[in-house]
A = this chain, B = another copy of it.
Amino acid sequence: MAEKENLDKAVCSVHHMAVRDTMDILNGKWKIRIIASLSFHKKRFMELIADIDGIAAKMLSKELQELEMNGLVTRSVLNTKPITVEYELTPYGHTLKPVINEMAAWGMKHRKKVMKGSALK
């Protein structure tokens, strides 16, 4: 029936739009990995550099700014000598953890699958 079809299409397009919205915020090579890194503990700039393999200071700085603008991360300058800066997920940033965790879960299964595949060759 036509009504059911239309409903299907509507559900579908809302789904697509939502996926797209999420990807627009998590765009680029690094954001997801930064959030993943912060999802365990808050970290300082240098700790993030060390933790996220391959990222350059420029990119980290830029991506953190975007995440901060989107309300996912907070930046706090600590009153230490020399100053240290802590980055932390906001409560809103933590709502992305299910997304990250599903990615991690899939990545682990995938790694196992790939390793099994290459062992069979």
A interface residues (Cβ-Cβ under 8 A, vs B): 8, 12, 14-23, 25, 29, 32-33, 36-37, 40, 51-53, 92, 95-96, 98-100, 102-111, 113
The reply to whether A40 and B12 form a contact with Cβ atoms under 8 Å apart is yes
Q: Select A110's contact among B25, B40, B109, beta carbons within 8 Å.
A: B25
Copies of this subunit: 2
Bound together, the chains give a CA A96 to CA B37 distance in angstroms of 22
Bound together, the chains give a CA A23 to CA B105 distance in angstroms of 12
Offer 6 A-B interface pairs, CB within 8 angstroms, sorted by A: A16-B36, A18-B105, A19-B36, A19-B100, A19-B104, A23-B32
Q: Is the interface of A mostly helix, strand, loop or mixed?
A: helix
Q: Which residues of B contact A104 (CB under 8 A)?
A: 15, 18-19, 22
Q: Which residues of B contact A51 (CB under 8 A)?
A: 16
Q: Select A22's contact among B21, B25, B103, B113, beta carbons within 8 Å.
A: B103
Q: Which residues of B contact A110 (CB under 8 A)?
A: 21-22, 25
